[in-house]
């Protein structure tokens, strides 16, 4: 077990030190950090929760809180995943193209496909989603925003196709702001709500983006 005496140190130092100590450890190993106030212990708990370390806290006195973080399988897995991404970025930073990952993301930004016939566009989009649901390689994620948000809501004719896609592993995500703007917040019928950060992440991430409309 590694012991750290972080009494007298202000946040985030106890967390930064604990993080440094715990990251190289293997499953089952423990870091004990002693801090002198409960706020630091709470901040360590947030760190533990985010990184999935097991957290135990023992209050010895008002100025001594013993926090024990144990490396769990889940924490190690999470860490390894993080490292893998990091390496990929490293390669890219050096100008070495990382192998393009398999898979694609579909973005639906309107309830109509193509111009200028709006009604025709609706029929086409419905057909597209149907065809998509029959494909063997389903998208990683389907993002709906602006007018597209109507397709995941009550009254959409594509709900069954989208449910099938979701069942086959595609994540269905609708922009929360768009739902709110169009008063559709309580009308969402399939998938979850997303935000611009996740959308940006998805669009700039490693997967191919398919945008039929």
Residue 20 interacting with another protein (CB under 8 A): no
Residue 87 interacting with another protein (CB under 8 A): no
Cβ atoms of residues 66 and 58 within 8 Å? yes
H or E element: which one contains 33? strand 30-35
Site string for another protein, 174-193 (x = CB under 8 A): -xxx--x-----------xx
- Cα–Cα separations (whole angstroms), residue 200 to 120, 143, 191, 206, 208: 30, 11, 18, 12, 13
Determine the 3-state secondary structure of 12 from DSSP.
coil
> Could you tell me how many residues of this chain bind another protein (CB under 8 A)?
30
At closest approach, how far in Å is the CB of 46 from another protein?
Answer: 6
Q: From the list 7, 30, 42, 159, which residue makes contact with another protein (rule: CB under 8 A)?
A: 42
Q: From the list 27, 49, 81, 137, which residue makes contact with another protein (rule: CB under 8 A)?
A: 49
At closest approach, how far in Å is the CB of 37 from another protein?
Answer: 7
If one counts every other C-beta atom within 10 angstroms of the C-beta of residue 77, the result is: 12
Which residue number, 138 or 153, has a Cβ lying nearer to another protein? 153
- For the stretch 179-185, contacts whose Cβ atoms lie closer than 8 Å and that sit 24 or more positions apart, written own/partner, are 179/149, 179/153, 182/149, 182/150, 184/149, 184/150, 184/153, 184/154
How far is 32 from 17, CA to CA, in rounded Å? 11
Output Rg (C-alpha) for the chain, integer angstroms.
24
Residue 79 interacting with another protein (CB under 8 A): no
Residues 116-175, interacting with another protein (CB under 8 A): 175
Q: Catalytic annotation on 178? A: no
Residue 85 interacting with another protein (CB under 8 A): no
Residues within the interface to another protein (CB under 8 A): 10-13, 15-16, 19, 37-40, 42-43, 45-47, 49-50, 62, 175-177, 180, 192-198
| Active site amino acids | 11
């Amino acid at each position: 077990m590694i012991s750290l005496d972080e009494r007298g140190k202000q946040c985030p130092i106890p967390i930064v030190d604990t993080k440094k100590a715990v990251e190289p450890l293997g499953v089952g190993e423990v870091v004990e950090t002693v801090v002198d106030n409960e706020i630091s212990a709470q901040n360590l708990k947030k760190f533990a929760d985010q990184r999935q370390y097991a957290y135990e806290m023992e209050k010895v006195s008002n100025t001594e809180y013993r926090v024990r973080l144990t490396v769990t399988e889940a924490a190690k897995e999470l860490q390894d995943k993080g490292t893998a991404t990091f390496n990929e970025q490293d390669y890219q930073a050096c100008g070495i193209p990382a192998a393009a990952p398999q898979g694609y993301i579909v973005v639906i930004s309107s309830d109509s496909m193509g111009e200028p016939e709006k009604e025709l566009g609706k029929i086409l989009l419905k057909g597209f989603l149907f065809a998509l649901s029959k494909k063997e390689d389903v998208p990683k994620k389907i993002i709906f925003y602006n007018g597209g948000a109507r397709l995941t809501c009550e009254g959409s004719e594509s709900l069954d196709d989208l449910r099938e896609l979701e069942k086959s592993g595609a994540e269905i995500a609708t922009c929360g702001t768009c739902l709110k703007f169009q008063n559709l917040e309580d009308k969402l019928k399939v998938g979850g709500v997303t935000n611009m950060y996740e959308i940006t992440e998805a669009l700039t991430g490693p997967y191919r983006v398919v945008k039929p409309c």
